[in-house]
Chain A
């Protein structure tokens, strides 16, 4: 029931949803973790405890409930700072998710710093949330958007980056630390190093990396970093933008309103200190507090253990999958270069049909373009099926999955 790295039985007991049946009597096999993960009871209880016992708005009132809520909310910020190893807690901005974080940068930094004919670089394996905000910005400013290509092994072609950098026109390079389709782990430090040599800013989308790998932002030395709580055991509606203080100080606010101000006069306003300058309005207090419980949970297991477990499971799954005749697997073959995300196509079975069939066996996978249509074009497919793992998944579940894929083949007479 377990890989050699973590005690899965104990972990599974913490996730009430894993006990439910689907399609009447099929145990749930949840392999859609790249979309969102399940939540342990500790997270669910932290949220309800806030509503039951100290629900209150934060930062302004002086009563006891407000004080407790403010402390809990701010404690999450400290935990995040530790989790991704950043020095200054005020560099951590709470947002709704990765999408909002990237939009914030494109708006508040991009509009001040990107001009006509400048180049913004992204990659062919980005999620739409790391493409569309840059397209909007490029259109508005008359700037150009360029893509680092993906090779046949599912890795970025860094020569492309060098060629763009040499033009001297690149202002920012934005890429994800782990592809949500191929699972490829980006050689981020190398990219940052090359960008620094040209004084180019770097934004990293950590939506898929922070939940699964140990991330050290001091070592990484990028300028902007974004991720979402809901992909790492936390609640939906909470995400993080981290950015270097100098940059945040220069940037204009994203939203105007309460909490982000120091003084408001009829025609003029001065901004609050960081991070509050970027946290206008009442934030998602309950879910930020819930997120702390998710970070505690992952810390208790240890991110090294999380990674080892997923590597073992991914290797097991890749070995079994590659034995199925007619399967096409995307992404790096070497598990050291990838996370627990496996995209594939099976014969001429369309991914939606495949997902429908194996759903009957209780297996939840994702099918479609995974918000990565630029990558689908590069792979020359309209869609893929995607299985993605997390700490509570087991080899036995992979076996159920493999059996179900074989049933789909039979139904399609392959």
Chain B
């Protein structure tokens, strides 16, 4: 994929004007991760109410791909059913970004946000819902993310 295709107007816009940037006070889910190779950082906060994503915010530092990906992911899941969020796949994220055929190094940037989200869901399912079966399923499904 050429950089003219990667760095389209929309990606740059989400990079420079990230939607849902910030933190939630006392969130149901708070998850942070970084990419040790490049130092990109990402933290996501979610509130779950009536089995829906009632609120979601993120903060982070990193490249246009990782930051736009995180911001677009928050928009994608806000107001959605919890079940939908549990089932999100890598392809969903890349479709949403309109990014395909990224090299192996840059695909990690695009998927950091999904990795953070899935780890957050895992802890939430285990610690708050005591639903280890669903948690294990998520863990298994996201093992190929990186």
Contact = CB atoms under 8 A, between A and B. Distances in A.
Interface string A221-265: 000000000000000000000000000000000000000000000
A356 B39 contact: no
B3 A411 contact: yes
B12 to A, nearest CB: 7
9 contacts: A349-B64, A350-B63, A353-B63, A356-B3, A373-B39, A382-B41, A382-B62, A408-B3, A411-B4
Given A408-B3, A411-B3, A412-B12, 10 more contacts: A352-B106, A353-B65, A356-B3, A356-B106, A357-B7, A368-B37, A369-B38, A369-B39, A383-B38, A411-B7
A139 to B, nearest CB: 21
Given A350-B63, A353-B63, A383 B39 contact: yes
Contacts of B106: 352, 356
Contacts of A376: 39
Given A412-B12, A413-B12, A352 B3 contact: no
A242 B62 CA distance: 39
A353 B64 contact: yes
Contacts of A367: 38
A408 B6 CA distance: 12
A348 interface: yes
B137 interface: no
A162 to B, nearest CB: 33
A45 interface: no
Contacts, number: 47
Nearest to B61: A382
B143 interface: no
A350 B62 contact: yes
Interface of B: 2-4, 6-7, 12, 16, 37-41, 61-65, 106, 109
Contacts of A383: 38-39
A411 B6 CA distance: 10
Contacts of A189: none
Contacts of B37: 368
- Among B2, B7, B65, the most chain A Cβ lie within 10 Å of the Cβ of B7
A411 B7 CA distance: 7
A353 B7 contact: yes
A356 B107 CA distance: 12
B7 A382 contact: no
* Nearest 7 pairs of A and B residues by beta carbon: A350-B63, A352-B63, A357-B3, A382-B61, A369-B39, A368-B38, A353-B63
Nearest to A383: B39
Nearest to A407: B3
A412 B7 contact: yes
Nearest to A359: B3
Contacts of A412: 7, 12
B38 A360 contact: no
A348 to B, nearest CB: 7
A369 B4 CA distance: 25
A337 B88 CA distance: 53
Contacts of A356: 3, 6, 106
A411 B106 CA distance: 18
A349 B7 CA distance: 11
Interface in A367-407: 367-369, 373, 376, 382-383
Nearest to B109: A352
Nearest to A408: B3
Interface in A340-362: 348-353, 356-357, 360
A382 B39 contact: yes
A249 B71 CA distance: 59
Nearest to A360: B3
Contacts of A357: 3, 7
Contacts of B64: 349-350, 353
- Among B4, B38, B41, B62, the most chain A Cβ lie within 10 Å of the Cβ of B38
Nearest to B7: A411
Contacts of B16: 348
B3 to A, nearest CB: 4
B42 to A, nearest CB: 12
Contacts of B7: 353, 357, 411-412
Contacts of A368: 37-39
B53 to A, nearest CB: 28
Nearest to A369: B39
A383 B62 CA distance: 9
Contacts of A369: 38-39
B35 to A, nearest CB: 10
Contacts of B3: 353, 356-357, 360, 408, 411
